[in-house]
Amino acid sequence: MRTCDAVVVGAGFGGLGAAIALRELGYTDLLIVDREDGVGGTWHVNHYPGLAVDIASVTYSYSFAPNPHWSHVFARGPELKKYAEHVADTYDLRRHLRLGTTVLGAEWDAAAGRWVVRLDDGETVAARFLLTATGFLSQPKKPDIPGVDDFAGTVVHTAAWDDSYDAAGRRVAVIGTGATAVQLIPELARTAADLTVYQRTAIWVTPKLDGRIPKVVQRLFAKVPFTQRVARAANSAVLEVIMVVGVLNYRRAKLANKGAEVLARLHLRRQVRDRRTREALTPDYSFGCKRPTFSNDYYPAFNRDNVHLETARIDHIAADGIVTADGRKTQVDTLVLATGFDLWDTNFPAIPITGRDGLDLGTWWRDTRFQAYAGVTVPGFPNLISLNSPYSYNGLSYFSTIESQMRHMKRLIGELQRRGADTFEVTERANAAFLDRMTDLLGDSVFALGNCAPARSYYFNQHGDAALLRPTSTANGKREASGFPLSDYSFA
């Protein structure tokens, strides 16, 4: 059986960051496994028209690997994919990659003190550490609408876009109005003969302060990196206010949250001419209950004659179109499923993981509650770093989460090395205290105090807990990642 220091599952930005941290800790025998055939995770998988990041790129990147050459304030999808390639090259991570390979499962072998990781290429690997960086939004969701398999035309999920598809002259239906649909709809609207958008829940959309970054600024960022750091700090501060004040601290800052709603309503009013369409596009839940988005061209698409907003419930899908509950059928030749991802049923965890005494992580999470100490480690699972865990997402930019987790790893595994120990495991006491604290803090958030019931937000799991986001400031997450009590872990 092949042995190595660590198996990292996932070659997106989380997995690449984890591998960089492990290299800094002195581990060189790493295996980074990804089921896809390239690095970049979500930015490798998603390539639908209009794909771009909606967190400004100065912030949506590693702070230790700034890219002075972002072409736009909000980089387009291909640029982020290129950045992931650049990071893999710069940090010499390619030699660890095993792409196009799926991890079937991992079991803790207590006698050997190793994770036994089974791959679909037939190999089994014994690793000292297992790090899962499988993303939050990595299991595409096919809607459970009757007849969806009977549709005779073209069917495409946004996470499996067919680049050769041309909407020109086609009658297209888009199901879903999440952040993905918001980017895709304006693109399809430009060429489709007819586009019907099936909206079940409206999304809050605020203006996107986007634009090209002039070459002179790019040169400044390259020559004087401090200037880009200042831009990052300023942008991160704004994101922090939106997140902490508007969402997490709703109890004390309801007005700020309402301010965001007002901004989105004004944006809608300015951009959509028809009053009834505006009403239909107005969410009926509090801002922040589900992820809002930013766009300047989503709403105007609904002013076009070839675009129709459909809010009647879909009853079923026929071979040649969509039938709504009121009996109307809209004939289409393309069905675009912008229906998002499954988090709580199939993604936590994304692979079967069996810890000490045969404990199955997925079963334990479902039978108790979704939980992970600092969003990173779980009692009963020694030497496991579970990067996409409940309460791990800290701040609006995923990179603040990644970098805090890298800090946590360095402190934890650094301590393991200092003690000359083989295994770490978070104590049940520390885990329970963390869960209690997160639960208490969530009591102040929009998830507990706002009107979230109509939102159908993927932030909430089957237990009714909004267990995705860490309800603290990113500064707190960062501070605790470098300073958590080492007594929260047992080392052996």
Least distance between ligand NAP and beta carbon 26 (Å)? 34
- From 228, 258, 256, 261, select the one nearest 241 (Cα to Cα): 256
Are the C-beta atoms of residues 424 and 383 closer than 8 Å to each other? yes
- From 474, 487, 484, 4, select the one nearest 241 (Cα to Cα): 474
Token couple for 97: 């990659």
Q: How far is it, in rounded angstroms, from Cα 149 to Cα 126?
A: 41
Q: With respect to ligand NAP, which residue has the nearer C-beta, 186 or 340?
A: 340
First to last CA, the chain: 24
Least distance between ligand NAP and beta carbon 324 (Å)? 11
Q: With respect to ligand NAP, which residue has the nearer C-beta, 437 or 456?
A: 456
Q: With respect to ligand NAP, which residue has the nearer C-beta, 310 or 425?
A: 310
- Residue 223, Cβ density class (10 Å: 0-12 exposed, 13-18 middle, ≥19 buried): exposed
**Element holding 479 (H helix, E strand):** helix 474-483
Least distance between ligand NAP and beta carbon 247 (Å)? 13
Q: With respect to ligand NAP, which residue has the nearer C-beta, 155 or 486?
A: 155
Q: How far is it, in rounded angstroms, from Cα 328 to Cα 439?
A: 45
Summarize as ranges the residues that interact with ligand NAP (CB under 6 A). 52-54, 137, 143-145, 175-181, 183, 200-201, 291, 314, 338-341, 456, 458
Are the C-beta atoms of residues 117 and 127 closer than 8 Å to each other? yes
Q: With respect to ligand NAP, which residue has the nearer C-beta, 144 or 357?
A: 144
Report how far Cα 273 is from the mean position of its chain's Cα atoms. Answer: 33
- From 38, 44, 45, select the one nearest 81 (Cα to Cα): 44
Q: 110: phi > 0 → left, psi -120 to 50 → alpha, else beta; which?
A: alpha
Furthest-apart CA atoms within the chain: distance in Å = 69
Least distance between ligand NAP and beta carbon 141 (Å)? 6
Q: With respect to ligand NAP, which residue has the nearer C-beta, 176 or 379?
A: 176
Least distance between ligand NAP and beta carbon 11 (Å)? 19
- How far apart, in Å, are the Cα atoms of 76 and each of 43, 79, 153, 228, 361? 10, 6, 29, 19, 36
Least distance between ligand NAP and beta carbon 469 (Å)? 11
- Concatenating the DSSP letter of every residue in 407-445 gives HHHHHHHHHHHHHT-S-EEE-HHHHHHHHHHHHHHHTTS
Which position's Cβ is nearest ligand NAP?
178
- How far apart, in Å, are the Cα atoms of 14 and each of 10, 102, 133? 8, 17, 5
Least distance between ligand NAP and beta carbon 252 (Å)? 25
Q: How far is it, in rounded angstroms, from Cα 261 to Cα 204?
A: 8
Least distance between ligand NAP and beta carbon 200 (Å)? 3
Least distance between ligand NAP and beta carbon 53 (Å)? 5
Q: With respect to ligand NAP, which residue has the nearer C-beta, 381 or 458?
A: 458
- How far apart, in Å, are the Cα atoms of 488 and each of 294, 383, 471, 483? 40, 14, 20, 11
Q: With respect to ligand NAP, which residue has the nearer C-beta, 53 or 307?
A: 53
Q: With respect to ligand NAP, which residue has the nearer C-beta, 17 or 340?
A: 340
Q: With respect to ligand NAP, which residue has the nearer C-beta, 135 or 382?
A: 135
Least distance between ligand NAP and beta carbon 294 (Å)? 8
